[in-house]
Amino acid sequence: MKKRVLAVILGAVMTMSLAACGSSDAGKTSSDDGEKSYTIGISQFAEHGSLDNCREGFLEGLKEEGIEEGKNLTVEVKNAAADQGTAKQISDGFVSDKVDLVCAIATPSAQAAYNSAMNSDIPVVYTAVTDPVAAKLAKEDGTPAGNVTGTSDELPIKAQLEMIREMLPDAKNIGILYTTSEANSVSALAKYKELAGDYGFTIVDKGIAQTADISLATDELLTEVDCLTNLTDNTVVASLATILDKANKQNIPVFGSEIEQVKIGCLAAEGLDYVALGKQTGKMAAEILKGEKKAPEMNFETITEPGFYVNEKVAENLGVTVPQDLADEAVESFTEITK
């Protein structure tokens, strides 16, 4: 009789355990107070201020929507150190770990994450992707290519060219360094070449394959141009200190593509606030995690209005006068160079 009672009890315990397993959402656990908790893998392509700001903004956006690290969110952050093979390994690992969502920061990481997660049900949310269509993350009409969505840091190229013309009225040639394997850079360069003539400029470009190419390419480019303007090219931006050092020695202005580049020594930018871009991305991710929307239903988004940022200390060092109308409309002016 005792054996029979014990068997019944054990059977009931096993049934309850199986029921508990069956009723839980895949990849999700519950926190101590019973609410759902989530695990996100963040794949960041390179270590530099723009992408770091995206990551911090992404977590802020989630927090504003009630998903907070240390409470109901576990985050694993991995950096590919600007290596596309490493980006693939990172994404494969997140898929193997069955995270609830992958946040991919920058185009190469977004492409790797999308390919890794393609045969799973794990959504990918990207940010800092200049041209999602060229990167094959979205269709021509902006709809997602699959279980993937996010935000674009498309450059305000017309505004940038207008600003450069106003600040450097005698300039003729603008230099652009870009990584030949980055789809976002190739796309942005083509747009610059298309529009430059409207503002009396000629674009002189130098393509690189890796970080080691930057020093020589910069030296060559500086002999041919009146100024440089940056794209959101990960390899180039990660080496911006080297580029600025060489350009400053020749008194050649370097224009940035976002606020962080202006802080560290670019003259000015009609650019983006990457914290705001990341925050916008975090809110999109929160909608997916909460089940309010699905990634394939969400077109990629952009920040509609760029801001003008200027470094007055750099202008002083270069002997460049910032036109008053630009100074008046600046979102932020910096009086020192951040190292």
* 67-121 pLDDT, tens digit each: 999 999 999 999 999 899 999 999 999 999 999 999 999 999 999 999 999 999 9
Q: Which one-letter DSSP state was computed for residue 250?
A: T
Mean pLDDT, to the nearest integer, of 243-263? 96
CATH of 35-153+274-302, one of 3.40.50.2300, 1.10.579.10, 3.40.50.300, 3.40.50.1820: 3.40.50.2300
Burial, 251: exposed, middle or buried (Cβ in 10 Å; 0-12, 13-18, 19+)?
Answer: exposed
User: Over 175-197, what HEC string results?
Assistant: EEEEECCCHHHHHHHHHHHHHHH
pTM of the model: 0.80
310, pLDDT greater than 50: yes
Which range (137-151, 157-171, 303-317) has the least confidence? 303-317
H/E stretch holding 113 reads: helix 107-117
Q: How confident is the model at residue 33 (pLDDT cuts 50, 70, 90)?
A: low
Q: Where are the beta strands (DSSP E) in the chain?
A: 29-30, 36-44, 73-79, 101-105, 124-127, 148-152, 173-179, 202-208, 227-229, 254-255, 268-271, 301-302, 307-311, 332-334
Where are the chain's structural domains? 35-153+274-302, 157-271+306-334
Interatomic CA distance for residues 339 and 329, integer angstroms: 26
CATH of 157-271+306-334, one of 3.40.50.2300, 2.40.50.100, 3.30.70.1230, 3.40.50.1000: 3.40.50.2300
pLDDT at 270: 95
Length of the chain: 339
Q: Judge contact between 152 and 129, C-beta under 8 A.
A: yes
48, pLDDT greater than 80: yes
Average pLDDT of the chain?
90
Domains 35-153+274-302 and 157-271+306-334 share a fold: yes
